[in-house]
Amino acid sequence: MNFQSNPPFIKEDPWRIFRIMAEFVDSFETLSQVGPAVTVFGSARLAPKNPHYEMAVALGKMLAKQNLTIVTGGGPGIMEAANRGASEAKGKSVGLNIELPFEQKGNKYANIPINFHYFFSRKVCFVKYSIAFVFMPGGFGTLDEFFEILTLVQTRRIPRYPLILIGEDYWSGLLKWTKSTMEQNNYISPGDMDLVTVTDDVQVAVDLILDYKRRVGPPEVIPSTLA
């Protein structure tokens, strides 16, 4: 077979670096101005009448009233709900929307929308300016973000920020498996799952986040090793 040593599409790759740089520059410039943030993850598929949607609205509203910026993936469902709560409380409501061919459109409650082409640059922005992370019931994307951020805390790449799972029934099976299979077989260390708090109470989540904020001081002194 006759393979080209230099396929034409390879010549395009170096130019992608500039698009990647532009995403980081634009998003860093915007997010560095919004103050301490809390990132909320969860399903894009939940309707407004779903109890977890209502909880996310309440969470966004309560945190915004404490001058905390709400960051979400910018889409519908839980993301819309958290942005909605922040917006209704007259707070800063950030939506980091990703370009997808068939699933996600930006929600109208994100008063600071930022659009991304690349998942990896968006992921950096979820973490870089947040002091806490809330994970509500969701699909593969929510699980992806949960384990990635948990790994960053476990490996001390970022401080021990509050990692809060809302929805005990939803998360209980996964947490039981991590204890009985991963921990019991030494794939993770004893105590690793103590990095996570599980609750069905939005007020508990808010109190944990505010307590962390009080303990570490002003947001500008919060350490971070994440680029």
Q: What is the pLDDT of residues 138-150, one digit of tens each?
A: 999 999 999 999 9
Confidence of residue 16 (pLDDT cuts 50, 70, 90): confident
Q: Under a CB-based contact definition with an 8 Å cutoff, are residues 199 and 122 in contact? A: no
| Percent of the chain surpassing pLDDT 70 | 89
**Closest by alpha carbon to 116, among 124, 91, 218?**
124
Q: What is the pLDDT of residues 166-196, one digit of tens each?
A: 999 999 999 999 999 999 999 999 999 999 9
Q: What is the pLDDT of residues 103-133, one digit of tens each?
A: 567 899 999 999 999 999 999 999 999 999 9
pTM above 0.85, yes or no: yes
Where exactly are the structural domains of the chain?
Answer: 12-166+198-215
CATH of domain 12-166+198-215: 3.40.50.450
Q: Average per-residue pLDDT in the chain? A: 91
